[in-house]
Structure 1
């Protein structure tokens, strides 16, 4: 998988709400009503990530979920990260 350029990443970020680009990858965070809601969404995202064979770096503290996506094999952000980011957006927005 080809690593995207900074310009390609910034352009693709325009189609995602609340995501930003840092040295670690593309990142976002979500705040839910409570831990149960956050964990429920994490579980749904986990199944999608497993199906895509692409796994996020994430942390969960009570009702907050922070996600960073990067393709380690490519040494940066690839189209695969944007595909998972879009799936995450769809899962969260379906709630």
Structure 2
């Protein structure tokens, strides 16, 4: 486990309750769902999956390495990848 204060926080993300957290808002449900599809494919390639929810045009994502008991570089890397999918 890594102390979450030792890791960089990607643009737009914040550390909440020991997790990287961000909400993304889109024009409509279709745009939000398309984003979730892109994130799902990237997460599958990385072998690291988000905790997330969708409410109409908003997608909320939390990243934490459950197996490591906290934030790791994998979370930062996936958050950075997710940012690039916007």
Distance 1:42 1:85 in 2: 13
- Give ranges in structure 2 of 5+ residues lacking alignment: none
Distance 1:30 1:72 in 2: 23
Q: Which residue of 1 aligns with 2:41?
A: 47
1:7 Cα offset (Å) = 2.2
Q: Which moved more, 1:48-57 or 1:23-32?
A: 23-32
Scaled by the length of structure 1, the TM-score of the pair is: 0.86
The structure 1 segments of at least 4 consecutive aligned residues displaced by more than 4 Å after TM superposition are none
Question: What secondary structure is seen at the aligned counterpart in 1 of 2:85?
Answer: helix
Task: Give the number of the structure whose residues are more often helix, by fraction.
Answer: 1
The alignment status of 1:19 with 2:13, answered yes or no, reads: yes
Q: Which residue of 1 aligns with 2:3?
A: 5
1:17 Cα offset (Å) = 1.7
- Give ranges in structure 1 of 5+ residues lacking alignment: none
Is the 1:70–1:77 Cα contact (8 Å) retained in structure 2? yes
